[in-house]
Amino acid sequence: MITLTNVIDAQNLLGETALHLACLHANKYVADLLLDNAADVTLLTTKGLSAYDYLKFSNELCVDRKRLDPKIRKPKFIALGSKKSKSSRDIGKSSMSNATNSFLIEALDDLEKNYSKKSIDRRNRRNSISSCSSAVDEESGVKSSVDPPRSSSTELKKIATKKENSIFSMIFEFIEKKMESGSDSDEKETKEKSKTDVKKKKEKKLPNPIFYETAEEKMRRYEIVTDNLMKSLPKSQPLRSRKYNPGDSYHVLSLDGGGVKCIYQTILLRKIVTEIPEFFEKIDLIAGLSASSLICASILLGYDLNFIEKLMEVVSFETFKSESHLAGIAGHQFSNKFMKMLAERMFGDRKLSDLTRDCSIQSFLIDSGKYSNLNLRNSKAMLFNNFESKYKLDGYLRDVCLQSAAAPGYFDPLNNHVDGSVLVNNPFFLSYPLIIGEYGMAIPKAQLVVLSIGSGYPNVPYYDIEEMGDAGLVQWLIKLSDFTIFARKEMAVTESKVILGERYHRLDPKLTTDVEICDSKNIPIVKQMAEEQDLSETLAWIKKYW
């Protein structure tokens, strides 16, 4: 029989153990039970997160944080049902067997009951833990057929009859097969390891208090960070007004969205301006979406690029901290409260129409409102701009920028708007009809000169056909979001080059490593790659066409 430790430390496809899930869902009974039975607190998920990290994602601290700190010794093994005063040498094989079955049934059943809703049939529950559990079976090779329950446990028989309706059906099957393949030798090794761990004494380390802030403390910290940032704001003047004259070139700077990777763009722009100081003076239009919308507005307001770089670093660091359960599966993953506070301080009541140069920022309105005329209630692309045209669409800068950056799954929609990159993550491509169109500004196509800056070309710019060729719906769903964004962006770049020829220049250097757009730990890597980027080809193009 497999040892209790090997069973309770079993991990799913995401690397989560029962202890991870108990901490995430604030189930004190199960968490304490696991810890009392020597659950391994050092195990990490595929994202490098421990049970200690999962605890801080929860709305309630259900267990003493010190018990989860890997710097502190693991607890002594206590067989379920035995008294705490009972010596470990009195725990026999029979006791261990009963404890194993009883522990598994009670722990998993308690987790299930704690999060099921009476009004929803278990067959129809949309529970992300169920999907993760299913993934465990698929990876571990467990068959869909249910093995006969162990006759040594009457409770296990009862649970087995409910497997088809249980969100933990795959976990039960996985555990049963592991238990049947175990041996008594594992039991002895577990006892010896537990005794050794008990003897080890490690220095206590106080947890980082920032992980356990109350809502009031967090808002206060946001205020302090915003105050300090605004104090460092250099005096600036908006870019001088520039009027387009027919026959002149119309210069467009386009900045893709990219989360943390938008810091990459600020450094590239700083390097360009260092070599060509008059670069901004010749810009007629700046187009951006998602996080780059903040960069667009800041440039037009005359903020220094060093400050804008610092601004994007602070925004990334304060924003990309997990706020909700299940890493965005059951709710938004991050909060935009800091961005709201900062945008209100920086932009105030300024509107797009107050800017001295043309500006275009896109978002997507997912619902025009349940109180609108039912015949008119819809979803539509919102191409905010200050153009002198029939399709001028004005708005407060603070709202327009944050609406464009409300990426689905990462943030809640703002004013019913979501991230503009769901349209196409290429703001020039979205602005093009408004620039040359009869109902737009009617700029001749031959006069357009466009510098389009991406947030870094993927390190692996393809989807392995050997991996995805026979993929099913589940495998495709995991990659579908990134896949469609990448596909539309590639289409936009190709069509822009076909339309404008050499007057369109794409600066989107291939990244030396993969970078997550929502991980502030990637900031140093992003900055280093940008500083080392060779811009000789881009600088030569600017000098020729700009």
Element (H, E) at 68: helix 65-68
Pairing of strands 358-365, 285-289: parallel
Q: Which helix (H) or strand (E) holds 29?
A: helix 28-36
Q: Amino acid letter at 156? A: L
Mode of pairing for the β-strands spanning 417-419 and 358-365: antiparallel
Helices 337-347, 305-319: crossing angle, 10 deg rounding: 150
Contacts of 455 (CB under 8 A, 6+ apart): 256, 257, 258, 259, 261, 262, 264, 265, 292, 508, 517
Distant-in-sequence, close-in-space partners of 183: CB < 8 Å, separation ≥ 6? 1, 2
Residue 300 tokens read as 């037009």
Angle 410-411-414 from CA coordinates, rounded to 5°: 150
User: 73 — phi, psi (to 5°)?
Assistant: -55, 150
Task: Report which of 39, 45, 104, 109 is spatially closest to residue 76, judged by C-alpha positions.
Answer: 39
What is the distance between the alpha carbons of residues 79 and 8, in angstroms, rounded to a whole number?
13
Query: Residues with catalytic annotation?
Result: 290, 419
Q: Please measure the distance between the N-terminal and C-terminal CA atoms of the chain and give it in whole angstroms.
A: 74
d(CA 406, CA 414): 7
